[in-house]
Structure formats: C-alpha cells, structure tokens
A = this chain, B = another copy of it.
Amino acid sequence: MSDDSVVRPRPEAAVALRPVSSGGRVEGGFWGAWQRVNREVTIPLGGERIRESGAFANLELAARGAGGEHRGKVFADSDVYKWLEAVAWERGRADDESLAGAYARAAELVAAAQRPDGYLHTHTQLTGRARYSDLASSHELYCAGHLMQAAVAGRRAAGDDTLLRVATRFADHLVKDLPPDALDGHPEIETGLAELYRETGARPYLDLAARMIATRGRSRLPLKGHHGPGIRQDRVPLREATAVEGHAVRAVYLAAGAADVAVETADRGLLTALESQWRDMVATRTYLTGGLGSVWYGEQFGGPHELAPETAYCETCAAVGSVQWSWRMLLATGEPAFADLMERTLHNAVLPGVSLGGDRFFYVNALRVRAGANPDDRRSPARGRQDWYGTACCPPNVMRLLASLDHYRATQDGDGVQVHLYAGGTIRAGEVLLEVETDYPWDGRVEIAVRETPARPWTLSLRIPSWADQALVNDDPAAGYHRVRRAWQPGDRITLDLAVRPRLTTAVPRLDVARGQVAVERGPLVYCLEQTDHPGVIVDDLCVASPDLRDGPPVPGLPAEVVPVLARGRAHEHRPDDDGFPYRTATGPREPEHTGPVELTFVPYYAWANRGAGPMTVWAPMH
C-alpha cells in the first residue's frame, strides 16, 4: 500500500508511532475550509507572485547556462520548491490537469536548471560566485533541502519523479563533492536529506545529514555583523545544548532534521537532547499562541521568559517549523505534549500568517499592536497583512503545511490508531478506515465512526487536549491519550466531547504578562481584542472586569461560524497628566482608575486584521 506521508520513518527507525499509511483526507469543517482556500486562492496566487518575483526567471536563465542577472534574494529558489511541495501535496489530495500542468512546467524548469554534475542554486550559477564559498549566507544547502522535500512530496503524493531525479542527483553530488565540515548558515538540508534517504534508501544521504548535525555548534561558520555563533546554532553542539538559540526558523528546522536523524540512527542521546530543548522552549520561549521568536533583530529566540507581546516576532515560518519538529518528536516518543503544541501552533501561530481570503500574509505575528505603532517596516503588524514580501519564505511555507495537513492528524502503532488533531474527514490506517465528523474547534463534539476494521481487537487512542479541563469519551471522563480497545465492527461509533467554552488564562510569575493580565482562550483558539470592535476607547486601555465570559453572536465582517467571546470590561482612565513624563513617585503600583463599563468582544487571534489593521491585544489587564 502506498504511503504518502509527509514524514515517513524507515521500518527500522526507533519511533513510538508511525504515520498512517495513506488515503485519509480532511473534508469539510474548519480545516477543510482552510484547505479549500489554500488550493483555490493561495497556491495559484503564490505561483503568480513567485513568477513576478523573478524566481522562475532565475531558473530559466540558469537553464540556459549563460549567466544573467539573478532577481530576488539568494534563497529565491526555495520559494519555488516550497510552492512545488504544496502543489504536490494538493495533487495527492485531488489531482487535476491544472495542478499537474503547473507542477510539470515548474519541475521541468528546475530539472533544466540543474548543472550536469547535479549542482543547483541559481544565485550561485548566475552570479558566478564559487560554490560553497559563502555558506554562512548563500543558502545553497537550504535551497537544496527544500528541493529534496518537494521531490519527496512529488513522488509520494503524485507519483511524479521529475524532482526526485533532480534531488537525488544533487544529493549524490553533495555526498561526493561537498567540502568536509561544510555547513549552511540556514539549516534545512538535514531534514531534506533524511527524508530523501527514507524515500530512496540511500544511506549516504542520512550519513551526510548526521555529519552536518555533529559538525555544527563548534563556531566554524564565519560570523556576520554583531551576531555571535549562536544566531546560526553554531555555538554549542546540538547534542550538548539545553535550550534553543538564535534564529528561530533555523533552530526549529535544525531540530526537525536532527529528530529525523536521531530516530533513523537510534541515537538516543541526540533525541534526549532534543526533548530537553523542546521542553525548555515550551516552558520559557513560547508565546501563548505557540509563536516562537521574541527578538526582531536576527529573527531570534530571546532569553528565557523574554516574551513581550508587542515585540514578538513569531515569524510564520517558525510556526511551520515548530509543527514539523513537534510532529517528529511525537512520532519518536508518542507523548501528547508534542501534539498539544502542534494544535496550539497550527491554530494560533500558523493560521494568522494568512488572511481569511487566502491572499494576504503576515510575516510577523505580534501578540499586541498599540495605537500609534510604527508602520515603517513592511513586516510591521501595524500595517496589516501584505500582498507578498521581498523575502517570501512564509507564504509558501503555509501553503505546503496546509496542503499536507491530512498527514498530521493521526498515527498508528502495533496496537492501533492514535488521533491527535480533530478535523472532519477520513483517516486511513492500514485496514482501518475512520470517519470523523466535527465542528471543532467551534464545538467540542467529535464523532468518529469506524467504517472499516480488521476482525482482531485494536486500540483507538484519542488525544485529549491539555486545555480541556473536561472531556468525555462515550460519557467516560478522559485525559491524556484516552484508549478504547475492543474488537471493532464497521459502524461502531465513538463520541468525544471536549468542553469547548471560553476561559481565562494567566501565566507563571516569571512571565511579565502574568502581572495583572489575562488572555481569553476557547478550545484550541487564542482570542484577542481588536480596535474595530471597540469604538470610542483604544485597545491599549481596555481591561477585563469580570471572569464571566460568554459566547457571542456572529461578528460583522467575520465568517458566521466564528464564535466571539464577550466579557464585561472597562477602560483605564488615561489622565491628562499621563501625557507627560510617565513615571511617578508612589508608595506602590498605581491603583487603576477606570472609565465606565465597556463590553469586550474577543475574536480568534488567527482572524485578526481581516477587517482592517489596527490596535490589537491578546493580553489585557484584569481588575
């Protein structure tokens, strides 16, 4: 049976769980709607934008082999590869002539641009710079990694080997000719090589990835600007690191690749180090949304508990990479915490990267935008989502993740099937076919029907999200992975009931947002306050006045299914003398003074800035 999974450990890999084999699909509901917009709007538009950026033209020039002006960034090729990966996964969901044609044209162009010896990087080829001469910045291997992922997707999802031939020729070249100890400033090739090994069985690809991971962390990459080696994860070997560090996207991409290598080589020490780093990241460097990276400068992780909402970087790509890393850790360990973070991140850190219409994109996902926030930078959340970016890494990253989301919902092991994410549709795991019906995340009821089953007993495990303080499975209280073992019959049904209702959230004392502030969540969704729903006051001054939260009626301008949360609030009084020097002698923290009552309308954070940009906050004072 074919297995089109996005991550596919080899049979001998040291994993607790394995991807479900093939054929199940997300259909309808919350994620089905996102996938439809992704397929119908975002991916076609992405192809256009990438064409306009010159990335296809670079490949055409490279194919002619005569040099020419390279357009865009040094990593422009990777935009094409990520977009091709998205198209490939969509072909796997439902192939059609339009997708197949677009894929074929682009993949053939990529193949034509490849040098006879297997090398491929249009910026290097067109500028004539020596190969691998500036790996700290050139992104040559980063692009190669994305090529490999796209190639594997083409084979698995569409049975199309055009890119796989290109990727294996490139990988063979690297195995043969890449200078020893060569490292790319931007990790990504590690996971690409590992998956190419999984697809082809060519062990040297895995060995090269393992070598890169072992080599890294010894300050061998040249330094740039004010940054130390940590920005590129080159300060401490990954095996010895206790915390994530540096550029957030690079860190999670590297960790994802290292997890691949760890399970394929049964390297328990490396996996343990990755688990420690992941736990430290979750405990000290993760926003409530799951977003990663609190430092704009260098797009970095900050220090522990440095998580100021308004300066959050939370690059959309870092959220995508976080899902990829967590998925690999979930496969390796079977622990639900990894799926908890995936769910949080998907709903609240990946989705905000795209407009509800699928045609505008956030690069940076701050948890607060103040009145008067500076819109000078094109990435400023105060400007709202943009049509595209000069550095366009994020939009196609979301495209490929949404197109492959089907694969992240469930796993299997010798004992049965585990469902981690709840989306309507079907799950195919070998002889098992499940059908899922749900209005999740708006409603907590999930109906799972067994459509096909072997005669022998097996266990259906349902993840109870850690946010759910009450959960019933067929009226039995449930937590963690709730396991139901029986000899299933076609037509058997199981009902999961998660108490989806609004709740207040606070934080541990070391987080500054813990001081007097709360956030609102509902099910897996983080909510926020937007200016547009609060005329007459500015969001900066809004406070929560009561712990009583309730679901509200549909909000004008948002889809009807979006459930807002209402609360009693008020506004800080901003006194005239507050416009002077803002610090005051006192005997203690200032006692808040308020204006009259304000009804607060919280909307899902992923849906913000779809009715114009403006002030917004996830956290608000409560008193």
Q: Are B469 and A585 in contact (CB under 8 A)?
A: yes
> Complex: how many Å from CA A96 to CA B509?
57
Q: Are A374 and B245 in contact (CB under 8 A)?
A: yes
Q: Are A370 and B304 in contact (CB under 8 A)?
A: yes
A584 CB within 8 Å of chain B: yes
> Complex: how many Å from CA A143 to CA B390?
32
Q: Are A229 and B376 in contact (CB under 8 A)?
A: yes
Contacts A509-B592, A589-B516; A303 near B466 (Cβ below 8 A): no
Q: Which of A410-418, A450-458, A480-488, A572-580 contacts B (4 or more CB under 8 A)?
A: A572-580
Chain A 497-522, CB-CB to B under 8 Å as 1, else 0, gives 00000011111111110111111010
Contacts A282-B580, A374-B301, A585-B469; A541 near B306 (Cβ below 8 A): no
Q: Are B589 and A376 in contact (CB under 8 A)?
A: no
Chain A 285-307, CB-CB to B under 8 Å as 1, else 0, gives 01010000011111011111110
Minimum C-beta distance from A250 to chain B (A): 13
Minimum C-beta distance from A621 to chain B (A): 6
Contacts of A245 in B (CB 8 A): 374, 376
> Complex: how many Å from CA A586 to CA B378?
37
Q: Are A587 and B547 in contact (CB under 8 A)?
A: yes
A218 CB within 8 Å of chain B: no
B230, B376, B508: the one contacting A227 at CB < 8 Å is B376
A467 CB within 8 Å of chain B: yes
Q: How large is the interface on A (under 10, 10 to 19, 20 to 34, 35 or more residues)?
A: 35 or more
Q: Are A518 and B226 in contact (CB under 8 A)?
A: no
Closest to A230 in B: B376
> Complex: how many Å from CA A587 to CA B374?
34
Q: Are B306 and A514 in contact (CB under 8 A)?
A: no
Contacts A303-B310, A311-B311, A370-B303; A579 near B507 (Cβ below 8 A): no
Contacts of A467 in B (CB 8 A): 585
> Complex: how many Å from CA A469 to CA B587?
14
B286, B505, B589: the one contacting A518 at CB < 8 Å is B589
Chain A 342-384, CB-CB to B under 8 Å as 1, else 0, gives 0000000000000000000000000000111111111100100
Minimum C-beta distance from A587 to chain B (A): 4
A537 CB within 8 Å of chain B: no
Q: Are A590 and B374 in contact (CB under 8 A)?
A: no
Contacts A581-B466, A587-B547; A308 near B305 (Cβ below 8 A): no
B337, B391, B519, B541: the one contacting A510 at CB < 8 Å is B541
B229, B284, B572, B583: the one contacting A505 at CB < 8 Å is B583
A588 CB within 8 Å of chain B: yes
Contacts A283-B579, A296-B295, A516-B515; A586 near B510 (Cβ below 8 A): no
Contacts of A559 in B (CB 8 A): none
Contacts A296-B295, A303-B372, A580-B282; A589 near B506 (Cβ below 8 A): yes
Closest to A304 in B: B372
> Complex: how many Å from CA A283 to CA B574?
12
A24 CB within 8 Å of chain B: no
B373, B521, B541, B584: the one contacting A303 at CB < 8 Å is B373
Q: Are B510 and A588 in contact (CB under 8 A)?
A: no
Q: Are B506 and A590 in contact (CB under 8 A)?
A: yes
Contacts of A185 in B (CB 8 A): none
Within 8 A of B (CB), among A240-295: 243, 245-246, 279, 282-284, 286, 288, 294-295
Chain A interface mostly helix, strand, loop or mixed? loop
Closest to A540 in B: B510
Contacts of A294 in B (CB 8 A): 311
B371, B390, B506: the one contacting A583 at CB < 8 Å is B506
Q: Are B509 and A578 in contact (CB under 8 A)?
A: yes
B305, B505, B586, B592: the one contacting A586 at CB < 8 Å is B505
A202 CB within 8 Å of chain B: no
> Complex: how many Å from CA A231 to CA B376?
7
A472 CB within 8 Å of chain B: no
A477 CB within 8 Å of chain B: no
Contacts of A575 in B (CB 8 A): 508
Contacts A580-B282, A580-B283, A589-B516; A305 near B504 (Cβ below 8 A): no
Most chain B CB neighbours (cut-off 10 Å) among A279, A514, A587: A514
Contacts A308-B311, A578-B509; A588 near B303 (Cβ below 8 A): no
Q: Are B377 and A227 in contact (CB under 8 A)?
A: yes
B297, B374, B382, B504: the one contacting A585 at CB < 8 Å is B504
Q: Are A588 and B518 in contact (CB under 8 A)?
A: yes
Q: Are B509 and A377 in contact (CB under 8 A)?
A: no
Contacts of A10 in B (CB 8 A): none
Q: Are A373 and B306 in contact (CB under 8 A)?
A: yes
A135 CB within 8 Å of chain B: no
Contacts of A282 in B (CB 8 A): 580-581
Contacts of A540 in B (CB 8 A): 305, 510
> Complex: how many Å from CA A449 to CA B65?
84
Binding site for B on A (CB under 8 A): 226-231, 235, 243, 245-246, 279, 282-284, 286, 288, 294-298, 300-306, 308, 310-311, 337, 340, 370-379, 382, 390-391, 466-467, 469, 503-512, 514-519, 521, 540-541, 547, 572-575, 578-590, 592, 621-622
A-B interface, 6 closest residue pairs, ranked by CB to CB distance from nearest: A230-B376, A296-B297, A228-B376, A303-B373, A308-B308, A509-B572
Pairs A–B under 8 Å by Cβ, sample size 26: A228-B377, A230-B376, A282-B580, A283-B582, A288-B583, A294-B311, A296-B297, A301-B374, A303-B373, A303-B382, A304-B372, A304-B373, A308-B308, A308-B310, A337-B581, A505-B584, A506-B588, A506-B590, A507-B584, A507-B590, A509-B572, A509-B574, A510-B541, A514-B589, A588-B622, A589-B622
